[in-house]
Structure 1
Amino acid sequence: MNAHLEQLSPAPLWRHFRTLCDTPRPSGHEAALVTTLQRWADGLGLAHDRDAFGNLRIRKAASPGHEQAPGVILQGHLDMVAQANADHPHDFTRDPIETYVEAGWLHARHTTLGADNGLGVAAALAILEDETLVHGPLEALFTLEEESSMGGALNLAEDWLEGRLLLNLDSEDRGQVYIGCAGGADVIVDARLHTEPLAEGERAVCLALTGLTGGHSGIDIHKGRGNANRLLVRVLRRLEAFGARLADYRGGTLRNALPREAFAILALPAEELEPVRTRLAALEGELRAELAGVDEGVTLSLAPCETPPETVLTLHASQLLVAALHAAPCGVERMSVEIPGVVETSNNLGVVSLADGRLHLCALVRSLRDSATAGLADRFRALFELIGARTRVENAYPGWTPDPESPLLARFCRLHRQRLGADPEVKVIHAGLECGILGGKYPHLEMISFGPQIRGAHSPDERVELASVEEFWGLLRALVEDLAVSPDH
């Protein structure tokens, strides 16, 4: 599959990206790809090893005469976000990604594309096999489970990497270079809520909220898009006036993706079914008006439940849960004062599920300030502890403190200006690049992050601009060579 990718330019990069598209690699299922890359390295005679967590490192000796150049680490993550449209069956552990080109952009059919971070990985592999490139000592570090937990970076072996300059290839904006990023933490909530049988005279109905755009919970959080969990909970709150009680709920699939859809099973008094339909039509209109220009396709639908649940939450438990979810922090909490236009602190109400009275929730808190991450996470915990839930904070990772005086940054900007005729925008991103974690483990590392133009990451709308990939490849290749031959670093 995806043979057409090898007709694109630059050919070496796209050939490797084809391998990534044809090899399933959702978070936690990177083993087959690791094996493929190890065999590839063996075929080229490149040294490779893995740390205890399973992160993969491939090394290439310096070009003759450039052994004293600073060691360069090319870094990306092997896993991808697994998101498909609800009406498209796709097994991300078995099925390849099907790609197509349209109007200068590469897309996937009904699923995420995996350009995040597959193009960075493909570029690193293409650099390693380029025999025409003059370079210093090279290491390619490929981490695991970045999208699900930052697990690879958090568990990276210390005293393992040898280079002192790290090029993170996991950015998504043409003409920009990143020198700092937000840290974050997962807030996990579990609770056992009181249930009782469906009452006589009640009917079970399925309520769905669909049609949202979704996106990345960091870089898209300030764009005003709808969060399906937040919106459906708001609707549920309004339906309590009709005696609605929750029996089942599922919304969102990843804590770092803005939820596009959410579904609930409700118990309603039979006589309230038609009034509820009328109310939902009005609520749909309200939501579409509020989300005009970003998510006006939001849709509310109600249908009979073919298999009624055996139990539903008691009225008190249902109202308590809906109130807590309704009050939970969600979206932008604070904008940065020091870096205008950048979100400082946010929270994504990412995954919510309820079945047989058991609630599970996973939210992702992000901030440029580690203290603000901890503060918002604790506030979230405090709220749900009020309803008797068990809460915990997991997978906390630090932010990446910007260094605008970095010589590596200055060199990149010089090359960008020479090749493209303009300085890049120097940026700080409200997303969890692995650089903050890597810098904590290897404080001596000098780092920048750059990449091609990717849009719609973490959603089936993900796409990459083909021209930007050629630009990205040229910059990367020029920077690696410049670091080997120029004495000013």
Structure 2
Amino acid sequence: MNEHLEQLAPQPLWRHFRTLCNTPRPSGHEAELVAILQHWAERHGFAHDRDDYGNLRIRKPASPGKEGAPGVILQGHLDMVAQANADHPHDFTRDPIETYVEDGWLRARHTTLGADNGLGVAAALAILEDDGLVHGPLEALFTLEEESSMGGALQLAENWLEGDVLLNLDSEDRGEVFIGCAGGADIVVEAQLPTADVGPDEVGMQLALTGLVGGHSGIDIHRGRGNANRLLVRVLRALESYDIRLVDYRGGTLRNAIPREAFATLVLPVEEVAAAKSRVAALEQVLRAELAGVDEGLALALAPLETAPVQALNAHASRMLLAALNVAPYGVERMSSEVPGVVETSNNLGVVSLAEGRFHLCALVRSLRDSAVEDMADRFHGLFDLIGARTRVENAYPGWTPAPHSALLARFRRLHGRHLGSEPAVKVIHAGLECGILAGKYPDLEMISFGPSIRGAHSPDERVELSSVEEFWTLLRALIADLAGDTAAAGA
């Protein structure tokens, strides 16, 4: 499948990306891809090993005479976000990604593309097999479970990597280079809430909110897009005057993707059904007007169930849960005063579920300040204490402190100007690059992050601009050659 990818330029990179598209690799299911890459390394005579967590390292000796050049670590993560449109059956643990080209962009049919971070991984593999490139010692570091927990980076072995500079290939904007990123943490809330029998005068209804754009919970959090969990809770709150009780709820699938859809089952007195339907129809128009020009596809539907549920939350628990969710922090909390135009602190109400009285919430807080992450976690704890829920913090990771005067950055800026005719924009990103974690484990590493232009990451709208991939490849080769002292290849 995806044979057309090998007709794109640069061909070595796209050939490897084809392998990634054809190999299922959602977070936690990278084993098949790791085995493929190990066999590939053996065929090429490259040394490879893994740390205790399973992160993969592939090494290539320096070009003759370049053994004393700085060692370069090419770093990316193997997993991808698994998101598909609701009407498209796709098993991310078994099915390949089907790609196509449209108007200069590569896309996937009804699913995420996996350009995040498949293109970085493919570029590193293509560099390793590039016999025409003069280079110092090379290491390609491929981490696991970045999208779900940053687990690979958090558990990365210390005193394992040997390089002097690290090139993180997980950025998503041509013409930009990243030197800092937000840290973050998962906030998990759980509770067992009391239920009561559904009465003979109550009927079951299914409430669905669909059609939102979604997107990356860091990069897109400031764009004003709808969060399905936030909006459906708002609708449910508006229906409380009709004596509804929640039966179950499911909204969002990943804590780092802005939820595009949410669904709730509820019961209400039969005589209130007509009024509730009318209220939902009116709210659909209100929400669509609020999101006009930003998130155009919102749809609300309230439909009867053939059979009423047996149990629902009791009236008090239903009201308390919806009240807590309604005031829970979400979206942009604060913009940075030090880095203009960059979000400092945000929260994504990523995954919310309720089944048989068991409530679960997973939110992802991001911030350039670790203290702000701690404060947000405490606010969740204080809020959900009021309904008897348990709150804990998981998978906390530090931010990446910018080093605007590093020699590596100066080198990249010079090469960018030489090859592309413009200075790159130096950026700090409101997303969880692995650089912050890696810098904590390897504080002497110089590092930058750059990549091609990817849009719609973490959603089925994900796409990559083909011309930006060629620029990315040119810069990557030039930087590695320049670090090795090959000024001719670097374009001096």
- The TM-score bracket by the shorter chain reads over 0.9
Secondary structure of 2:412 counterpart: helix
Correspondence 1:308 to 2:311: no
Partner of 1:242: 242
| Structure 1 unaligned blocks of 5 or more | none
Secondary structure of 1:433 counterpart: coil
Secondary structure of 1:190 counterpart: strand
- Tell me whether 23-32 or 303-312 shows the greater mean CA deviation: 303-312
Cα distance in 2 between the residues matched to 1:305 and 1:473: 54
Distance 1:307 1:449, change over 3 A: farther
Instruction: Provide runs of 4+ in structure 1 moved above 6 Å.
Output: none
Deviation at 1:309, TM superposition (A): 2.3
Cα distance in 1 between the residues matched to 2:268 and 2:173: 48
**CA RMSD, aligned part only?**
1.0
Secondary structure of 1:485 counterpart: coil
Residues 98-132 of structure 1 show CA distances to partners (whole Å, capped at 9, x for unaligned) of: 00000000000000000000000000000000000
Deviation at 1:486, TM superposition (A): 5.9
What does 1:82-481 align with in structure 2 at a 5 Å threshold?
82-481=82-481
TM-score normalised by length of structure 1 = 0.99
Cα distance in 2 between the residues matched to 1:267 and 1:395: 37
- Tell me, yes or no, if the aligned pair for 1:55 and 1:144 is still in contact at 8 Å: yes
Cα distance in 2 between the residues matched to 1:198 and 1:20: 49
Partner of 2:57: 57
Deviation at 1:386, TM superposition (A): 1.5
Deviation at 1:307, TM superposition (A): 4.5
Aligned positions, number: 488
Cα distance in 2 between the residues matched to 1:366 and 1:66: 41
Cα distance in 2 between the residues matched to 1:306 and 1:374: 46
Which amino acid is 2:329 matched to?
P
Which amino acid is 2:234 matched to?
R
Secondary structure of 2:14 counterpart: helix
Residues 388-412 of structure 1 show CA distances to partners (whole Å, capped at 9, x for unaligned) of: 0011000000000000001000000
Secondary structure of 2:25 counterpart: coil
Cα distance in 1 between the residues matched to 2:309 and 2:217: 32
Cα distance in 1 between the residues matched to 2:382 and 2:60: 50
What does 1:16-95 align with in structure 2 at a 5 Å threshold?
16-95=16-95
Secondary structure of 2:239 counterpart: helix
Secondary structure of 1:49 counterpart: strand
| Structure 2 unaligned blocks of 5 or more | 488-492
TM-score normalised by length of structure 2 = 0.98
Deviation at 1:33, TM superposition (A): 0.1
Deviation at 1:303, TM superposition (A): 1.0
Residues 408-459 of structure 1 show CA distances to partners (whole Å, capped at 9, x for unaligned) of: 0000000000001100000000000000000000000100000000000000
Partner of 2:490: none
Cα distance in 1 between the residues matched to 2:378 and 2:486: 49
Cα distance in 2 between the residues matched to 1:294 and 1:211: 12
Deviation at 1:310, TM superposition (A): 2.0
- Tell me, yes or no, if the aligned pair for 2:134 and 2:486 is still in contact at 8 Å: no
Which amino acid is 1:226 matched to?
G
Cα distance in 2 between the residues matched to 1:387 and 1:297: 34
Deviation at 1:200, TM superposition (A): 1.5
